[in-house]
Structures are given as C-alpha cells and as structure tokens.
Amino acid sequence: MADQDTLAYLTQVLPFDRLNETELAQAADALDVVYFPQDAQIPLNRQGSAYLYLVIKGRVSECHQSDESAQCGLYGVHAAFGASSLLDQNAHLVYRALEETVAYRLPFSVFETLLHSNNAFEAFYFHDITQKLSQFHRQLQEESSSEAMMDAVSIAPLHALIEVNGATGIQACVEKMQAQQSDACVVHHHDQVGIVTASDLLRGLALESFDLQSPVGELATFPVITINQGDFLFNALLKMTRYGVDRLVVRDGQTLKGVLHQKELMSLFANQSGLVMLTLERAETFDDLKQVVTQIDQLVAGLSNKGVKTHYIAKLVNELHRKLQAKLWSLLDEDGRFDDVTYVVMGSEGRSEQVVRTDQDNAVIFPDHLSRDGLMAFCEHFNQKLIELGFPPCPGNIMLSNPEWCLSEQQWRQKLIQWFDDPSEDGFMALAILFDAQVVRGEAQRLEDLKEALWQQVEKRPMFLPHFALSVSQFETPIGLFGRLITQKDAGHSIDIKKGGIFPIVHGIRCLALEGRIEPTNTHWRIRKLMDAGVFSEAFGIELGETLNFLNTLRLQAMLHKKMQGKAVDNRIETDELSHFQQDLLKEAFGVVNQFKKVIEQHFKLENY
C-alpha cells in the first residue's frame, strides 16, 4: 500500500503529476530512499545502476563526462533526474551531489512501464519543443487559475446585435436600442459598416442641432472595430486599448453576432487593465501619469504571474506606453506648437516587445519648414520627463533630445543615404532601430516615406543584406557539446539571454522582413508573414515563435525578480533559479536558435562574407 506522503510528493514532480491514481501507486510502491554525501558521484547507467532519481532534499549537478567543470543541469527539491542517461545510452552524463542529498530511487523497469502506459507521461520526454512550450504555458495558466484570459471571446456575455441603415432616424434607432436594452447600433451606410452609441445620439441632439428624424449615419463612427468570436479575450482587451474604444462587435467569420462591452470583459479578468486605461484617459497632470506608470508595472507583474504569454503582455503594455507618451506630449505642448511633429518609438518599443522599461529609443521627424531651435528644447524637456516616468535614457543616446535623431524630412533622407554610403557597425544598428519604428503621434506618412526610401536603398544595394545579417552570429549561443548550458562562473551560473538567444532571432527575422518588404514590426507578426510567404515551414515558424516567447518569458521573470529585490535590471538569467524543466526547455530553445542561425547563414550565403 503506497504511503500517502509519498503519493503527495509524487504529484509535485514533473511529469509524475500526469499519472493516474493507479500509476502513481505503482510508482510509489517501487520507490526506495537513498542518501548521498556532499561531492559524492551518484551512480546512474543502464548497466548496473538503472534508476530514475527524485530529489527530496539537497541539490544535484549534471555534467558531461568530457568536462565535469561545466555544469549543464541542476536539480533541486521535487526534480527528477537521470532520464537522459536512461533513455539515451550515448549521453555519457555524470551526476554529483552539490550538498548532502536525499532522494527517492525508481527502478528503470518501472519507469519504462509508466512511459508505455501513460501518453502524457511519455510526451514529457519525447515531444518536440513546441509541444513542451505549450505545456509550459498551460501549466502556468492552470497554476494561477487565470485561464479566462486565454479563453475565446465566444464565452463572454454579449449585448444584442442591432443593425440599422444609415438613413434610419435617431428616434427609430433609440426605440430599437430601448427594446433590446442596448446602448449601441451597427450602422450600414454607403457600403460601410460603422457603429453609433447612445452617447453619440445624445451629443447630436444636445450639441449639434440634430433632430429626432435626423439620419444616424451622420453620427456613426466608421469603420466598426470587430473581433472574431474564436479569438482570445486577451486580444479583445488589446484591441480596445489600441483603438481607444469600449465596445467591439463580435463576428463569426463575416457574420456579426453581438457587441462585447469593456465592463463585461473586465469582469472576466482579475487584473487592473481597465483601471490603467481609466486613469490614463483622465490624466490631466504629470503626477497623474506617474500613477499610470505604477499601475502598468503592477499589471505586468500580475499578468506574468498568471502565465499570460509574454508577447501578449508586451503588446498590451506597449499600447499603454504609447498612449502614455502621447498624453505626455500633449501635456507638455499645451499651446500645440509642435502638433505637426511626428514622434516615433524604435527598437524593442517599436516592435511592441519591451515589457519592463529598460531604455528608450525614440526620434522625431518634423516638416522641412519648421525650425529645430525651439523643438530641441522641447525634446530635451520631453526626454527628461520620460526619465522621471521610469523610461531610462538610451545608453547609445538614440533619443529625440540628440540632434542626430531630431531631423526634418529632408535631413532624414540624407542621413539614411549616409548610413548606406558609409557602412559601419553604428550605421547598421541605426538602420535596424529605424526599421522597427512605429509612430506614436503626428503624421504617420512621414515615417512610411522614410521606410520606403530605406527599402529602395536595400534594393539598389544587393550586398547590403548579407553584411547586415552577419550580426546574427555576433554572439555565441550559450550551449556546448552534448547540450550543456554554458554559463558565467558566478553565484547563479548566469546567461545573457538577450545576446545568446533573443537577439539572433529578432535580428534574423528583421533581415528577412527587410528583404521581403514586410511592414509589421513585431517579430511574431513578421514570423507569421514569412510563414505565409513560404520562407520557412509552418512547423518551424511556430517553433521559432514559441522559442522566442519562452526566452522572453525567462528574461521577464528574471527582470521582475530583480526589480522586486531592488537590484539592477539587466538581460541575465540565473540558471540556478530555473526548475529542471525550464533548464531542459532552455537547452532545446538554444538548439532552435542555432538551427535558425544556420537558416540565416544559408539564406544570405554568409560563408562568403
């Protein structure tokens, strides 16, 4: 009869938590307890010591026989180790107790039986990285009981769909809304579909001299913002934030189904997104914006703890950051002197991939007739206020307070050609940052024209892209022979995850997007476009996107942890802080990074450069 404490322990160990009651009892009955003193080597091989170990107390390191000084795995309490040696006889791994260790020992014969009897248990060891990463995020969501965020829009309560044509009078429209207890109508007018709300109708009657028979088409907003009922609720929130609306019309394909209101959406979420938006919309002073920044930080931590994928968090946070910066500009430019200036964010902000504020990359494009003198003073003041709001200055001074990044339309075109005519590492970095730019406020056409000029320069210079792509291999992937992690010899065995994994994917995808004239800036959107264009397969594109998201998740978690401890936030993660499952995923993720580097090297024929 299996001991209840042993059964309870097994349910806390991946992947034993996937076993049913009978299988758990079978495993528990076969366990015995072993002890290893500090520095002892733990016998583990298929010939004489064929056991899977589960740590009760202590820590165990995993190294390859060829280099025992380089740790490639670390196992603490509730971790299972030895599967690599048992399932791959060519693994040649050595296990050593880093401190006094007590462990359960499971015979390989029982382990093998469990593999054959339980598909989910077997999948943990044999599935590809995409499936493992999906399981990783599902587990985070289950642990936090926040599955609602990743549920489909179809589960949300909808207001009735009321449809009228643009010639319908205000009175008739209100009567329809009253009958259905709704405060919005979908309006079909001149081959367009829009929406009119009770507030729009009231404004028309009270302030704009409309009467009860006036057509509602003149008060409607076009086009209506919609979302598919199969999309995530989280994406519904993102759309409301991006477009500054509190209603979405839900559709099934092209068929309209009903209206989703923000208040119903927010009732499904246990986060402060609605509070952030409300505070931001009502902000009238700089201190109000400080309050918004605090709420955004709390939102990031909350969403991360709930297991929401990092690229979803990043999209929402970057929408909030852009609205925050646009509001700051309006507050500082009270007389509208610089209304005709285009303000852009670049780099990770432009790609909607910055979650924790690490630095600011921004610039302005102003019309040729405008003097830069007063503008420069404004830009310096704007940058300083951003710093006070928690957006650190760019170490490379790529900010609108730098005259090199505050240029007229003509000056920008000249600067662009200069970067191509006199290629340098700084010039390549500037082009990469600019290509990722997005407009926050002002005339968007100026940036579109500048990017068009950039594409024209790339097309005229066939040697540019291969040289531009060389940076993909600028940093070594921190994984060695036999899949061991290469870490810094510091207290936490740290890895710079940006240099080692994130940058090669982001820059490689950027190069392919530049070659293919792909307009979206977000790396995940670019991957989707490249998949659609057949640049690489659907399976590899999904694997690459999931790998990037996992690496960004580890970085975000490390950043939030350091921030909570009052430490400097950087791009390093400490592998000692990772679970064994996360370490295994990290090794496989770096394997995908290396595979992608080879794709880029072959695509651009980098062996010739």
pLDDT in tens, 195-252: 999 999 989 998 888 999 999 999 999 999 999 998 878 788 878 888 888 899 999 9
87 and 100 in a single domain? The answer is yes
Is residue 2 pLDDT above 70, yes or no?
no
- pLDDT tens for residues 324-376? 999 999 999 999 999 999 999 999 999 999 999 988 999 999 999 888 888 99
Is 393 part of any domain?
yes
Number of domains in the chain: 4
CATH of the domain at 102: 2.60.120.10
Q: Provide the pLDDT confidence category of residue 281 given band limits of 50, 70 and 90.
A: confident
Q: Is residue 421 part of a domain?
A: no
Encoded amino acid at 108, one letter: F
Q: Is residue 235 part of a domain?
A: yes
Q: In this structure, are 301 and 376 located in the same domain?
A: yes
315 in any annotated domain? yes
Tell me which of 268, 294, 316 is where a domain ends: 268
Last residue of a domain, one of 237, 268, 299: 268
Residue 258: give its domain's CATH number: 3.10.580.10
Give per-residue pLDDT as tens, 501-520. Answer: 999 999 999 999 999 999 99
Is residue 303 located within the same domain as residue 255?
Answer: no
Residue 308 and residue 338 in one domain: yes
Same domain, yes or no: 286 and 262: no
Q: Do residue 206 and residue 246 come from a single domain?
A: yes
Q: What is the pLDDT of residues 129-182, one digit of tens each?
A: 666 666 555 555 444 444 455 567 887 888 999 999 999 999 999 999 999 988
Q: Which residue has the higher pLDDT, 150 or 39?
A: 39
pLDDT of residue 38: 92
If asked whether residues 112 and 23 sit together in one domain, one would say yes
Let me know the angle formed at the C-alpha of 527 by 526 and 533, rounded to the nearest 5 degrees. Answer: 90
Task: Output the pLDDT for position 290.
Answer: 92
> 288 and 221, same structural domain?
no
Domain-embedded: residue 141: no
Alpha-helix residue ranges (DSSP H) falling in 406-522 = 409-421, 425-435, 445-460, 464-469, 497, 503-515
Q: Is residue 138 in a domain?
A: no
pLDDT of residue 594: 94
Q: Is residue 383 part of a domain?
A: yes
Domain with 518, as residue range(s), is: 471-608
225 by Cβ neighbours in 10 Å (0-12 / 13-18 / 19+) ranks as middle
Output the average pLDDT for the chain.
88
What is the pLDDT, as a whole number, of residue 384?
96
Residue 343 shares a structural domain with residue 208 = no
Please check whether residues 491 and 539 belong to one and the same domain: yes
Q: Return all residues near 379 (Cβ < 8 A) that are at least 6 apart.
A: 364, 400, 401, 406
Show the tokens assigned to 528.
């989707």
Contact of 266 with 274, CB cutoff 8 Å: yes
Question: Are 481 and 440 in the same domain?
Answer: no
| Overall pTM surpassing 0.85 (yes/no) | no
- What is the rounded distance in angstroms from the CA atom of residue 296 to the CA atom of residue 315? 13
The reply to whether 319 and 403 lie within a common domain is: yes
Nearest 5 degrees, angle CA 193-CA 198-CA 199? Answer: 105
In a domain, 423, yes or no: no
Non-local CB neighbours of 602 within 8 Å, separated by 6+ positions: none
